[in-house]
Amino acid sequence: MSIVTLLTDFGLYDQYVAAVKGVILQIAPKVTIVDVTHQVAPHNVLQAAFVLRQVFDCFPAETVHVAVVDPGVGMVRPIIAARYSGQFIIAPDNGLVSLVHRDFVLEELRAVQNPMLFRKNISASFHGRDILAPVAGHVARTGRITEVGPATDKLALLNLPTAAVAADGRIRGQILYIDHFGNALTNIERADLERAARRRSGLSVKVGEQQVPIHQVYGQVPAGTPVALVGSANTLEIAVNQGSAARQLGLTAGQDVTVE
Amino acid sequence: MSIVTLLTDFGLYDQYVAAVKGVILQIAPKVTIVDVTHQVAPHNVLQAAFVLRQVFDCFPAETVHVAVVDPGVGMVRPIIAARYSGQFIIAPDNGLVSLVHRDFVLEELRAVQNPMLFRKNISASFHGRDILAPVAGHVARTGRITEVGPATDKLALLNLPTAAVAADGRIRGQILYIDHFGNALTNIERADLERAARRRSGLSVKVGEQQVPIHQVYGQVPAGTPVALVGSANTLEIAVNQGSAARQLGLTAGQDVTVE
Amino acid sequence: MSIVTLLTDFGLYDQYVAAVKGVILQIAPKVTIVDVTHQVAPHNVLQAAFVLRQVFDCFPAETVHVAVVDPGVGMVRPIIAARYSGQFIIAPDNGLVSLVHRDFVLEELRAVQNPMLFRKNISASFHGRDILAPVAGHVARTGRITEVGPATDKLALLNLPTAAVAADGRIRGQILYIDHFGNALTNIERADLERAARRRSGLSVKVGEQQVPIHQVYGQVPAGTPVALVGSANTLEIAVNQGSAARQLGLTAGQDVTVE
């Protein structure tokens, strides 16, 4: 009884996700399939990498994560199968694993090349259904990636923005992700904040021209008021209590943030 | 083999729902998870209470319903676990159970307080993942809520609008919910309508300035024409055959409705 | 361990899909339920027929496909249960099976009429929950449609547009479906294209006033450039590499397309 997760930019309007699920179930009928999201912005690999990292440690050992966000479908770019800290990822080799790679242990890496595992007819535009799905079904059923193809050490990784702590204790970071509540998730870690807090008290966040106080929970400020806190990703998050920080403060992914 | 349902305002854009599912499956790997909806309007507890009531008797005994629509996350508000007519609900104690409470038998009520069942690190903003999910996994696996915390009799309930039958047989009620087809579901029950119909014939519904005839099925009026009927919730529903009553008649939740 | 798929126009906002799933699980608790899509345009039977055909051969034998896109709910129109090439379809008899019917073998066809299999109280407006769901649960559990009602040979079929190959080798077809990426899927088959390509070289597609070159994969043209290819449905597809052909070229379902 194993688990396969799906992370794509296929949306929920078409039948593409269902086609992938059907092919997985043809091969591994007892698998439990979980949708991570299918609403990654089309071809946005960084967003997909972030989302994959966020859910990764919520799943049990041997979970098979299939991620298909792939501007290069049909072109000559490899598909990889990796084992990180006991879980599997199957994805195009375009940097999708970058944040998991940063935070977990790479135990095995293979190029997906064994055509015996693919669907009989491979379309030019739907490798998710024709290659990744049947390979995922196989990995879920066997619990290993040994058969998918040869070991490799080539792995595309994204150039990730990282937060920097200055000598005076200021932390400079970036917004990585805006969620559907309008909360802005940054790359500033709890540990850096705690170190900074030991030097200075009354820390606040500066984003654009706006100064936002840091608290423990949303509800420590009145409804409609901006607040920053260490969020569920264990990083600094900018929110508005019962409102949308993205709309109210005009925040976007990529924007600079300073803690001072 | 038990079932866990999820009812949230998390949306389908982010990975939050998947994180909750992963944590449940870490604890109860054989559970079947069903999404009720994740598109409750942010923090709209009444809408969530209505939706939970609508699906409640469609599920088998021992189903565990997890509802997370929670303006007060991170603040000091209890989480409850309840057994109603053989099924379980785990939710913040904010009135989410109100409509199930009105229509089903409360058999057991507990405050969720046992930290042994929680995730190791509890974030300030994601109790769905860190508290409700692992507790739901535990309840699904054991089939009981005994271990989640002490019995309690404190339960927050919403002030629900109810339909009233006047001496002259008129029924005055409210629109509770607008569905995505644009159908307006009211709180006027089939039984009240049948009682009124015994007194008078040719009943119709008045909403705003509009008079809508009551029929058995949508198709008794031409396409594009308003019609009222006893809908799938066993209450009066205002629709437009093959169209949207909400748009065409300008209907909104909370609006008054009279049967005469 | 069997599979039930759901294909509806219920959307994901309301609890309707969950109600259907709950009823199925009350009867067949071990079934795996897969969403095909719930975002068919309200009452668009042709779109649903296309989507059902697209996923049909991705699923294993004995899968039960439940399709509920039904302008005539509550009126006197039959519900059918069919077996095509070892899989089952349960749907209103309104043409939903048309494209599967064209491409697979009809092995058994029955009118769904056995009230013993229905829910106790049947609403006027939600046959998906009250009739199709419990019947699907029964079929999934038993692996046969024998009990659902009498055999019939009445079957509603849509008048499908077909592509025509002219004497000079030109192919005239139609756009059947626009997906959420903005790709336009036509009814021009790979085989017809290959036959035409034997007669002439340098084939291109004419749609409106626009001429689009035919290639193997999206990436053979620069990002933002229109390209036609044989897509994942094994038919001609008009796309824009990393963009939306529907938006950029103004394409809609039903539009004529010529290969020359």
Q: Which residues contact A259 (CB under 8 A, 6 or more apart)?
A: A170, A171, A173, A188, A193, A196, A203, A204, A205, A206, A214, A236
pLDDT score recorded for residue A13: 93
**Which of C11, C22, C42 shows the shortest C-beta gap to B34?**
C22
Phi first, then psi: give them for residue B69, nearest 5 degrees: -130, 110
- Could you tell me what percent of chain A has a pLDDT over 90? 77
| DSSP 3-state of A127 | helix
CATH at residue B217:
2.40.30.90
Q: What is the C-alpha to C-alpha distance for residues A226 and B107, in angstroms, rounded to an integer?
A: 42
Which residue in chain C is spatially nearest to B244 when comparing CA positions? C42
DSSP chain B: --EEEEEES--SSSSHHHHHHHHHHHH-TTPEEEEEES-S-TT-HHHHHHHHHHHHTTS-TT-EEEEE--TTTTSS--EEEEEETTEEEEEESSSTTHHHHHHS-EEEEEE---GGGS-SS--SS-HIIIIIHHHHHHHHHHS--GGGS-B------------EE-TTS-EEEEEEEE-TT--EEEEEEHHHHHHHHHH-SS-EEEETTEEEEB-SSGGGS-TT-EEEEE-TTSEEEEEETTB-HHHHHT--TT-EEEE-
Of residues B223, C110, C34, C173, the one with CA closest to residue C97: C110
Q: Is the pLDDT assigned to residue A249 strictly greater than 90? A: yes
Do residues B108 and B223 both lie within one domain? Answer: no
- Tell me, yes or no, if A31 comes closer than 8 A to chain B by beta carbon: no
Q: Which residues of C touch A75 (CB under 8 A)?
A: 217, 219
Residue B234, both tokens: 């066993």
In chain C, the largest separation of any two C-alpha atoms, in whole Å, equals 63
Using 50, 70 and 90 to split pLDDT, how confident is the model at A73? low
Contact criterion met (CB below 8 Å) for C141 and C96: no
Domain boundary among C109, C142, C175: C142
Q: Do A133 and A24 form a contact (C-beta atoms < 8 A)? A: yes
The chain-wide mean pLDDT, for chain A, equals 93
The candidate with the shortest Cα–Cα distance to C153, out of C63, C70, C80, C69, is C80
Are B77 and B26 found together in one domain?
yes
Tens-digit pLDDT profile for residues A174-210? 999 999 889 999 999 999 888 887 777 778 999 999 9
The answer to whether residue B158 sits within a structural domain is no
Contacts of C3 in chain A (CB under 8 A): 25, 29
Residue in A18, A25, A124 closest to C230 by CB: A124
Task: Give the distance from residue B44's alpha carbon to the nearest chain A alpha carbon, in angstroms.
Answer: 11
| Chain C residue with Cα closest to A76 | C219
* Smallest CA–CA distance from B220 into chain C, residue: C75
Which pLDDT score, from 0 to 100, does residue A7 have?
A: 98
- Report the residue from A12, A25, A42 with minimal CB separation from C59: A25
B68 is a domain residue: yes
Partner A contacted by C248 (CB < 8 A): no
The 10 Å Cβ neighbour count of residue B57 is: 15
Residue of A nearest to C219 (CA): A75
At C74, the pLDDT band (50, 70, 90 cuts) reads low
Same structural domain, A32 and A135 = yes
- pLDDT at residue C162, as a whole number: 87
Q: What is the pLDDT of residue B225?
A: 95
Look at residue C152 and tell me if it is in a domain: no
Are B206 and B125 in the same domain? no
In this structure, the answer to whether residues C64 and C125 fall within a common structural domain is yes
User: Which of A33, A252, A220 lies closest to A140 in space, CA to CA?
Assistant: A33
Q: Shortest CA distance to A84 belongs to which of A94, A74, A99?
A: A99
Instruction: Work out the angle at residue C253's Cα, subtended by the Cα atoms of residues C248 and C257, and round it to the nearest 5 degrees.
Output: 75
- For residue A231, give the chain B residue with the closest CA: B125
Per-residue pLDDT reduced to its tens digit, C195-208: 887 777 778 999 99
Residue A150 lies in a domain: no
Q: Is B219 on the interface with A (CB under 8 A)?
A: no
Q: What is the CATH number of the domain that holds A23?
A: 3.40.50.10790
C245 in the same domain as C134: no
Residue among A19, A23, A75 minimizing CB distance to C217: A75
Give the mean pLDDT of A75-90. Answer: 92
d(CA C237, CA C214): 9
> Does B14 contact A38 at a Cβ distance shorter than 8 Å?
no
Q: Which residues contact residue C69 at a Cβ distance below 8 angstroms, ignoring those fewer than 6 apart? A: C7, C8, C9, C40, C43, C44, C45, C47, C48, C92, C94, C96
Q: Is C154 a domain residue?
A: no
Give SS3 for A166: coil
Nearest alpha carbon to residue A4 among C33, B1, A29, C249: A29
Asked if C12 is an interface residue toward chain A (Cβ–Cβ < 8 A), one would say yes
Cα dihedral sign for C122, C125, C129, C134?
positive
* B65 in Cβ contact with B82 (< 8 Å): no
Q: What is the pTM of this model?
A: 0.94
Residue C166 has pLDDT above 90, yes or no: no
pLDDT at C247 over 70: yes
Q: State the nearest Cα–Cα gap between B157 and chain A, in angstroms.
A: 21
Distance CA B130, CA B112 (A): 12
Place of tokens 């034997």: C198
Total length of chain A: 260
Instruction: Identify whether A155 is part of a domain.
Output: no
Residues C44-64 pLDDT 10s: 899 999 999 999 999 999 999
- Residue C114 DSSP symbol: -
**CB B75 to CB A217 under 8 A?**
yes
pLDDT in 10s for each residue of chain B, 260 residues: 699 999 999 999 999 999 999 999 999 999 999 999 999 988 889 999 999 999 999 999 999 999 999 876 656 679 999 999 999 999 999 999 999 999 999 999 999 999 999 999 898 889 999 999 999 999 999 999 999 999 999 999 999 888 998 888 789 999 999 998 899 999 999 998 888 877 777 789 999 999 999 988 888 889 899 999 999 999 999 999 889 999 999 999 999 999 98
Q: Between A165 and A245, where is the model more confident?
A: A245
Subunit partners of chain C (3 or more CB pairs within 8 A): A, B
A204 and A213 Cβ atoms separated by less than 8 Å: yes
A196 CB-side CA count, 13 A:
25
Give yes or no for residue C73 having a pLDDT over 80: no
CB-CB under 8 Å, B23 with A232: no
CA A68 to chain CA centroid, Å, is: 12
Strand pairing class (A3-8; A64-68) = parallel
Give the whole-angstrom CA distance, residue B193 versus residue C85: 48
Percent of chain A whose predicted confidence (pLDDT) is above 70: 98
Q: Cβ atoms within 10 A of the Cβ of A127, count? A: 23
Q: Are strands A64-68 and A87-92 parallel, antiparallel or unpaired?
A: parallel
* pLDDT single digits (tens) B121-154: 898 889 999 999 999 999 999 999 999 999 999 9
C-alpha to C-alpha distance for B223 and B225, rounded to whole angstroms: 6
- Same-domain check for residues B23 and B125: yes
Residue of B25, B72, B121 with shortest CB distance to A60: B25
* Range from A31-35, B38-42, B44-48, C165-169 carrying the lowest mean pLDDT: C165-169
Which residues, at least 6 apart from A122, have a Cβ–Cβ distance to it below 8 Å? A130, A131
As given in the structure block, the two tokens for residue B141 are 């696996």
In a shared domain, residues A138 and A170? no
Q: Is residue A158 situated within a structural domain?
A: no
pLDDT of residue B4: 98
Give me the number of domains chain C comprises.
2
For residues A220 and C79, which has the higher predicted lDDT (pLDDT)? C79
The DSSP code sequence of B93-141 is SSSTTHHHHHHS-EEEEEE---GGGS-SS--SS-HIIIIIHHHHHHHHH
pLDDT of residue C131: 96
Considering the domain architecture, whether residues A184 and A105 belong to the same structural domain is answered as no
The answer to whether residues B196 and B165 touch, using CB atoms and an 8 Å cutoff, is yes
Length of chain B: 260
Average pLDDT across chain C, whole number: 93
Choose among A54, A33, A95, A62: nearest CA to A177.
A54
CA dihedral in degrees (B66, B70, B72, B76; nearest 10)? -10
Selection from A185, A64, A189, A78 nearest residue A131 by Cα = A78
Of B12, B16, B71, the CB nearest to A39: B12
Q: Which pLDDT tens digit goes with each residue over A113-128?
A: 999 999 998 988 899 9
Q: Are residues A136 and A171 in the same domain?
A: no
Q: Which distant-in-sequence residues (6+ apart) come within 8 Å of B143 by Cβ?
A: B2, B62
Last residue of a domain, one of C87, C108, C142: C142
Instruction: Name the pairing type of β-strands A171-178 and A184-189.
Output: antiparallel
Q: In C, which residues are within 8 Å of B66 by CB distance?
A: none
- Both tokens assigned to C57: 């051969």
Q: DSSP letter string over C66-77?
A: EEE--TTTTSS-
Apex A46 CA angle, A40 and A49, nearest 5: 80
- The pLDDT value recorded for residue A74 is 59
Q: Does any domain span residue A151?
A: no
Picking from C142, C176, C200, the residue at the C-terminal end of a domain is C142
In chain B, the largest separation of any two C-alpha atoms, in whole Å, equals 63
Residue of C nearest to B59 (CA): C22
CB contact under 8 A, C13 and B180: yes
Looking at residue C152, what DSSP letter applies?
A: -
CA distance A236 to chain C (A): 31
Chain C environment of A42 (Cβ under 8 Å): 181, 242
Kindly state whether residues B138 and B12 are assigned to the same domain.
yes
Residues B87 and B209 in one domain: no
Partners of B235 in beta bridges: B189
**What is the distance between the alpha carbons of residues B64 and C233, in angstroms, rounded to a whole number?**
40
* pLDDT given for residue B74 in this prediction: 59
Pair A20, A129: CB distance under 8 Å? yes
Instruction: Kindly state whether A30 is in contact with chain B, defined as any CB-CB distance less than 8 angstroms.
Output: no
Domain of residue C170, residue span? 164-259
Chains that touch B (3 or more CB pairs under 8 A): A, C
Residue from A35, A55, A99, A100 whose CB has the most chain B CBs within 10 Å, to mutate:
A55
